Structure formats: structure tokens, C-alpha cells
Amino acid sequence: MRNIIVENLKQTPLEKQRIEIVERKGLGHPDCICDAVMEQISLRLSKEYLEKAGTILHHNVDKSLLVAGQTENRFGGGHVTQPMLFVFGDRATTEINGTKINVEEIAINVAKEWFKKNMRFVDPEKHVKYQVELKPGSTGLVDIFKRKGEKLGANDTSAAVGYAPLTRTEKTVLKTEQFLNSKEFKQKFPESGEDIKVMGFRTNNDLNLTISMAFVDRYINSEEDYFEKKARILEEIKKFVRGNTNFDNVNIQLNTLDVRGRGLGGLYLTVLGTSADSGDSGQVGRGNRVNGLISLNRPFCSEAAAGKNPVSHVGKIYNVLTFKVAKHIYEEVPEVEEVYIWLLSKIGHPIDQPAVAAAQVVMKDNNSLEKVRHEIAAVLDYELENIDKFCMELAQGKISIC
């Protein structure tokens, strides 16, 4: 029997609260680059282990640092004077039955592939250096993968929380960044870099969006040209947001640090479309939560999910699963207005048997929790019972966590 708790949460749903703040860091933000690349390395290692050992072996590649490089920005196109440095860290199995696994080569190749696919102006051979610090794991944690049982034991005592549904503000912030980094937008506005951050602030039914967008200097001929192109992009953003929301008022600002008359110093220009080329370093776990957002009004897990192994590390599994369970309950039980799911593991215990699995729900109108308590508990129990399938979907990259 699992320790499942379902309780009524006496609070005003976030959608009805006066103030809400939501952030999303975009594809080319240094923190998001770290998350995305390390997650891809975990997926590639999982595939390698499955092919050579028939199972996913111990690895936690959830530590990395992208050290910003140096550039000289110029109207019409600057150049890189010092490349970025990508440091990969933590643990990975490097040998299977006497056969060596070239973890360093895998990590570097995956990073290069990611840059080629996602960053139009980053040459992974010229603009990035790589330092791999992935070592074999500790005896105790490696041994978890050798123990018998239908479910692996948790490799940490860790807690996670997820929620549903997304508010209008959360959906707008998420969709806006995705729109700005879409292929269609980049084709229309090639001067728009991939490093984009969207900050949403809602007061009652008024929404304010502050957007930071790295412009690519090769497409900017002068200060006047920059502000003209910025104005066109801002109008395109306003058109998209207002056509996809129903707030009373929407106010949008773009690159608010800009100052006319200061030349290059008053503009947000990059050579490679990311501030990591000269202005800002990145680190795993400082980007978005696993649902793609940083929602300050919500509780959230402090674990960095990207790069953790998908079959034993509850810091990843529970982090993502809580959002899946919350969404399942919200869609399955129409009497629920808002739901929060909490999972707490105990190191060494099977991952399908958390120390506690709890659902806190805000009921719609005058609906009674007692009428749906069993239904909510059944969804929680079902998701935990099928955690093996969920973990394999994580290992195959079918579930986005960035």
C-alpha cells in the first residue's frame, strides 16, 4: 500500500489572485543551453548503456558551466576574440563488462550536435572549447543499479512538487518565447538571436511583458537601423500576444536597457545570438523548471533535473512526474480547479513507493472533496504503478524538461 494523501487546499487559485510573476528563459539563454545539452548527454548515455548492457547504468551528468567568451561587436558583424568554455561535470559509468565507454567523446559530440541544430551562428568547432570532468560514480550509488527488484531504489532522499493547470499568464509567457524562437520568426527577423527572456507580470487582468532579446550584429548596420528593426519586432510581438490572450490591457517592452545616442554601448548586440558569447555565463539548474517556466507564485523543487539519470534519480523522475500527475488529475476530475502534487522519496526504497505521495486540491465552487477523493488517489496510484513506462519515456527523450 502506498502512502497517498489527498487534502483540500484552502487558498485562492492563482488565476484569481491579484499579482502573478512568471519568467521563461529562452533557447539561447546560457542557463538553458546548459540544461538542454546536459539532458541530451544523459539521453545519449542511456541509449549507449541500453545497447551495450541491456539496461540504463549509473550516471548523473547534471553539473555544467558555460563560461562566457569574449567578442568585439561591430555594426555589420563583429567577431569572437575568445571562445566560450563548456565544462561538463559529475558522474557516468565508463566501463561495461570490460568494454570502455568513451564518455568524454560522447559528451563533446552531443554538445556540438546541439549547437549545430539550435544556434544558427555558433560554430561548435571554433566558438566553443570543451572540458569534460565526468568520473565514475561512488560505489554505493553504482550498486543501486545492480540490486534485484522490479523497480530500482531511489538514489537520493528528495522532494518534488508539480501543479496544474497553467494560468493564462504562464501560457502567454511560454507561447511568446516559443513564437520568438520559432523557425518562421527567425526567417522573418534573422537579426533576432536565440537568447530571449520573457518576464510576465500580471496585476488583476492587466499583463505586462518585459522581453530581452539578443540582436545579431551582422544584421545591424547602424544605431538607427537597430531601433528601426527593434520597433518592427516589437510590433510583431504585440500582434502575436494580443491575438492570443484575453487580458484587459497588455503592455509589452523590448530591451529596456537600450539608450539612443550611446552607439554600441546603448544597444543589446551579440555576435552569436547569445549573451554567452561575451556577457553572461550559464549553469545547469538556473533555467526554467521542468514545465518550461519559472513561476514565482508557485512552490517548486530546487533539484536540477537536466542530466540526471531517468531510472533512479528521483530528483529528475519525481520532478517531472508531479506535473504529469497534476495534469492527469485536473483533466480527469472536473470538480478540481487547481491541483498540487507532492512526492517525497527515501534513498534506497523503490521509486514507485515514495515516502509520501500527496495531492492538495482547490475545489471548484461548492464541490466536495469527499466525492472525488478516491478518484484523485486512484490517479496518483496509477501513475506510480506505471512509473517504469514513464521512466523509459524520459530515457528516450519523449518528455521535454526544458
Residue 80 sits in a domain whose CATH number is 3.30.300.10
Give CA–CA dist 223/38, Å, rounded: 37
Same domain, 255 and 304: no
Residue 321: Cβ within 10 Å count: 26
Same domain, 390 and 293: yes
Residue 400 covered by a domain? no
Tell me which residue range forms the domain holding 42.
30-142
Under a CB-based contact definition with an 8 Å cutoff, are residues 97 and 53 in contact? Answer: yes
How many domains in the chain?
3
Q: Which helix (H) or strand (E) holds 204?
A: none
- The predicted-structure confidence for 201-260, as pLDDT tens digits, reads as follows 999 999 999 999 999 999 999 999 999 999 999 999 999 999 999 999 999 999 999 999
Give CA–CA dist 127/107, Å, rounded: 17
Residue 56 covered by a domain? yes
CATH assignment at residue 10? 3.30.300.280
C-alpha angle 203-208-211 in degrees, rounded to nearest 5: 150
Same domain, 307 and 279: no
Phi, psi of 221 (to 5 degrees): -95, -20
Same domain, 180 and 161: no
Residue 20 covered by a domain? no
- The predicted-structure confidence for 22-70, as pLDDT tens digits, reads as follows 999 999 999 999 999 999 999 999 999 999 999 999 999 999 999 999 9
C-alpha dist (Å) from residue 103 to 95, 108, 363: 9, 9, 49
Same domain, 298 and 342: yes
Examine the fold and report which residue of 283, 306, 337 is the final residue of a domain before the chain moves on.
Answer: 283
Same domain, 136 and 82: yes
Same domain, 128 and 163: no
Same domain, 176 and 44: no
Examine the fold and report which residue of 265, 283, 301 is the final residue of a domain before the chain moves on.
Answer: 283
E strands within 320-366? 336-344, 356-363
pLDDT, residue 150, reads 63
Residue 319 covered by a domain? yes
Same domain, 34 and 126: yes
- The predicted-structure confidence for 365-377, as pLDDT tens digits, reads as follows 889 999 999 999 9
Same domain, 342 and 274: no
- The predicted-structure confidence for 319-356, as pLDDT tens digits, reads as follows 999 999 999 999 999 999 999 999 999 999 999 999 99
Residue 200 covered by a domain? yes
Residue 150 covered by a domain? no
Same domain, 234 and 265: yes
Residue 78 covered by a domain? yes
pLDDT, residue 302, reads 85
pLDDT, residue 149, reads 57
Same domain, 302 and 391: yes
- Cell numbers placing 372: 472525488
Q: What is the dihedral of CA 117, 123, 128, 134, to 10 degrees?
A: 40
- In this structure, is the dihedral angle defined by the CA atoms of residues 117, 123, 125 and 127, taken in order, positive or negative? negative
pTM: 0.94
